[in-house]
């Protein structure tokens, strides 16, 4: 095992060196351009798929609003998964539930033969981000409850819309191919995708299309952006005693947690600038007069490549052991999640980007722009409104210039099958992320229009991949001969690690009953805004 890891490390250093030369040594960057159009029949069917998506606008809006109203945290997406699978099942998809030992994970397949196209997006939300949609200031539906403060309510509805549009065409045209839809469970915990891979979800998959909410339509390829991470909880075990009567008999687990945090924050000065690490204390003891016999601290260790993530995790382990020694306590650790740095496929991104150029951004109206400017003003950000120009096709970034950023466990998937992520404009620019503010657009016409635009791109890209096998071949050529030539996927989870499926259970137990009153009922109300009685947009005067 050790030898294998060392060899991979050497290869990685070489790969980084070569691309650093390319980026800085004046050599031309890898050329990239949108994939040229296919034969007339393909282009005609793509046009038709986009029209089908447009015709499904109301159904799309209902799905986006419905999932928004469920507002479930990672591993607790029970209502969300029940609802989405029922929509797919009604439309002839075969469902496998409770996949990989995760009660809320599933996949849905339709069609037969090659290519097998995996189509995924995340479904979980953010703690304490409950927020009324369409309101440009903090106004929770239920104070303290979770909410879609990232916008993960719209990704699977986008994929379902695209898949149903394509299915109709595949049936009529008798096109071979299999559509395999799946949800990113507990993405905010980077808690599930490595387990979905281990269970074999992608073993028969030829290409993988992912969708993630953003404030513009976009796609990119290569690495050199964001981070990967290991999420670890350290639990210290000591001995309780009366804190005043006989404190010398106690061994404080909380002392160990505090010493670990202090040590980590000193060590931080001497870590690479690319690292990003953060922690929360999940258990700090019971009450002051009882010496805390157990305490836990939960860390995210982020870095820009596999070797550095592993190294950061090892430093964390060392500091935890040292803190245990200092306090005469014992420490154990558990991996709660992990994510590889993302590396998206060149062919797939170029093909998707060509469709992005065709579809373009939605036509925002005055109300959409008023909501966007309202929240931007509220948060003292530049009042730029909504995106009105597409960004360039991103690709071939120099990994040496990557200074870190967020992670997504779609990274793991991108290392086992050619993958691309579609960014779609269902949110407002200049928001903080993981915050109530990121929820305000997520069940409004901004999200509805953004999802329809994204679903058109997704549907057109699926048609390309179904009908132009040379694209699938080229995607695998890049995957095998460029991306994974010197770097192979080694999961951060070990064979004995298990998904942390009980996380967030208590929070949902606390809020579920109250949240049920606010579930969207499309049989009574056209939109969720209408059900909540919200005037769109509601902006501070």
Residue closer to Zn ion, measured from CB, 156 or 323? 156
What is the C-alpha separation between 438 and 456, in angstroms, rounded?
Answer: 23
Task: Kindly determine how many residues on this chain lie close enough to bind Zn ion according to the rule CB under 5 A.
Answer: 1
Minimum CB separation from Zn ion for residue 374, in Å? 24
Closest residue to Zn ion, Cβ-based?
150
Minimum CB separation from Zn ion for residue 406, in Å? 8
Residue closer to Zn ion, measured from CB, 150 or 350? 150
Stretch that binds Zn ion, among 146-154, 175-183, 281-289, 325-333 (CB under 5 A): 146-154
Minimum CB separation from Zn ion for residue 121, in Å? 9
Residue closer to Zn ion, measured from CB, 187 or 305? 187
**Cα dihedral sign for 87, 89, 91, 94?**
positive
* Contact between 412 and 490 (Cβ < 8 Å): no
Residue closer to Zn ion, measured from CB, 65 or 150? 150
Minimum CB separation from Zn ion for residue 510, in Å? 24
What is the C-alpha separation between 412 and 199, in angstroms, rounded?
Answer: 13
DSSP-based three-state secondary structure for 25: coil
If you ran DSSP here, which 8-state letter would residue 44 be given?
Answer: H
What is the C-alpha separation between 508 and 80, in angstroms, rounded?
Answer: 13
Minimum CB separation from Zn ion for residue 191, in Å? 13
Residues 22-81 that bind Zn ion (CB under 5 A): none
What torsion, rounded to 10 degrees, do the Cα atoms 515, 127, 508, 142 define?
A: -20
Residues 187-246 that bind Zn ion (CB under 5 A): none
Stretch that binds Zn ion, among 41-49, 104-112, 149-157, 319-327 (CB under 5 A): 149-157
Stretch that binds Zn ion, among 15-23, 74-82, 107-115, 147-155 (CB under 5 A): 147-155
- Nearest of 512, 430, 504, 427 to residue 133 by alpha carbon: 427
Residues 324-383 that bind Zn ion (CB under 5 A): none
Residue closer to Zn ion, measured from CB, 150 or 233? 150
What is the C-alpha separation between 373 and 381, in angstroms, rounded?
Answer: 9
Residue closer to Zn ion, measured from CB, 291 or 422? 422
What is the C-alpha separation between 227 and 344, in angstroms, rounded?
Answer: 13
Residue closer to Zn ion, measured from CB, 285 or 423? 423
What is the C-alpha separation between 498 and 336, in angstroms, rounded?
Answer: 8
Strands (E), 358-409: none
Burial class (CB in 10 A: 0-12, 13-18, 19+), 532: middle
Site string for Zn ion, 106-145 (x = CB under 5 A): ----------------------------------------
- What residue ranges bind Zn ion (CB under 5 A)? 150
């Amino acid at each position: 095992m050790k030898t294998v890891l060392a060899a991979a490390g050497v290869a990685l250093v070489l790969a980084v060196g070569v691309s650093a030369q390319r980026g800085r040594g004046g050599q031309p960057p890898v050329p990239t351009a949108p994939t040229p159009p296919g034969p007339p029949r393909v282009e005609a069917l793509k046009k038709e798929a986009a029209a089908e998506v447009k015709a499904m606008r109301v159904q799309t809006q209902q799905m986006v609003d419905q999932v928004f109203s469920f507002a479930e945290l990672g591993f607790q997406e029970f209502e969300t998964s029940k609802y989405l699978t029922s929509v797919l099942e009604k439309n002839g998809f075969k469902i496998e539930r409770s996949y990989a030992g995760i009660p809320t994970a599933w996949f849905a397949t339709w069609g037969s033969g090659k290519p097998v196209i995996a189509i995924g997006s995340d479904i979980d939300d953010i703690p304490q981000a409950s927020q009324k949609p369409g309101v440009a200031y903090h106004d929770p539906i239920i104070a303290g409850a979770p909410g879609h403060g990232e916008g993960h309510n719209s990704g699977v509805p986008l994929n379902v819309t695209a898949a149903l549009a394509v299915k109709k065409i595949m049936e009529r045209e008798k096109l071979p191919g299999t559509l395999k839809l799946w949800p990113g469970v507990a993405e905010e915990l980077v808690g599930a995708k490595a387990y979905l891979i281990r269970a074999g979800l992608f073993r028969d998959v030829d290409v993988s299309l992912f969708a993630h909410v953003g404030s513009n339509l976009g796609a990119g390829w290569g690495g050199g952006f964001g981070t990967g991470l290991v999420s670890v909880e350290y639990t210290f075990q000591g001995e309780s005693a009366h804190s005043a009567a006989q404190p010398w008999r106690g061994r404080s687990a909380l002392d160990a947690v505090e010493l670990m945090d202090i040590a980590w924050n000193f060590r931080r000065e001497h870590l690479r600038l690319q690292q990003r690490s953060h922690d929360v204390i999940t258990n700090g003891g019971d009450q002051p007069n009882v010496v805390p016999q157990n305490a836990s601290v939960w860390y995210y260790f982020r870095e820009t490549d596999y070797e550095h993530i592993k190294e950061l995790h090892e430093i964390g382990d060392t500091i935890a052991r040292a803190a245990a020694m200092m306090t005469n306590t014992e420490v154990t650790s558990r991996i709660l999640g992990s994510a590889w740095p993302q590396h998206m496929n060149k062919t797939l991104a170029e093909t998707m980007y060509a469709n992005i150029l065709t579809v373009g951004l939605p036509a925002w109206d005055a109300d959409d722009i008023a909501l966007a400017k309202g929240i931007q003003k509220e948060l003292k950000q530049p009042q730029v409104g909504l995106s009105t120009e597409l960004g360039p096709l991103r690709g071939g970034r120099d990994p040496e210039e990557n200074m870190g950023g967020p992670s997504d466990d779609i990274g793991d998937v991108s290392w086992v099958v050619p993958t691309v992520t579609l960014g779609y404009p269902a949110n407002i620019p200049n928001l903080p992320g993981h915050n109530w503010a990121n929820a305000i657009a997520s069940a409004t016409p901004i999200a509805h229009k953004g999802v329809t635009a994204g679903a058109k791109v997704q549907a057109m890209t699926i048609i390309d991949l179904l009908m132009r096998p040379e694209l699938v071949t080229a995607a695998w050529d890049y995957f095998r001969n460029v991306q994974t030539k010197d770097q192979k996927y080694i999961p951060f989870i070990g064979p004995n690690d298990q998904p942390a499926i009980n996380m967030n259970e208590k929070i949902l137990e606390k809020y579920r009953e109250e949240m049920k009153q606010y579930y969207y009922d499309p049989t009574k109300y056209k939109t969720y805004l209408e059900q909540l009685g919200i005037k769109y947009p509601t902006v501070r005067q």
